[in-house]
Amino acid sequence: MAQAKFRFTFPQDLVTEPIIYNLGRNFELITNIRRANVTDDQGWVILELEGDQDEIERGIAWVTENKVRVDPISGDVIEG
């Protein structure tokens, strides 16, 4: 199983949409929220994804198609 970390940045019109829930449900991925900040007009989430590499890639493609900005990150996101 592969594991990857990403920062998802949500525009105002997607803040209330269940994107992360659907990502885990529609793709064979385990989602783990490490950090998040959500306001009325924007939101961001640091998310760990675990699953087959192909499934991670398919899931990320789906998220970006839904107008969420996705940036890969590295390191321990809990520290600092």
Q: What is the pLDDT along the chain (80 residues), one digit of tens a residue?
A: 999 999 999 999 999 999 999 999 999 999 999 999 999 899 999 999 999 999 999 999 999 999 999 999 986 655 44
CA dist., res. 7 & res. 44, Å (int): 7
Nearest in space to 22 (alpha carbons), one of 54, 53, 68: 68
Strand 30-38: give its sheet, edge to edge: 30-38, 43-51, 2-10, 69-73
pTM greater than 0.85: yes
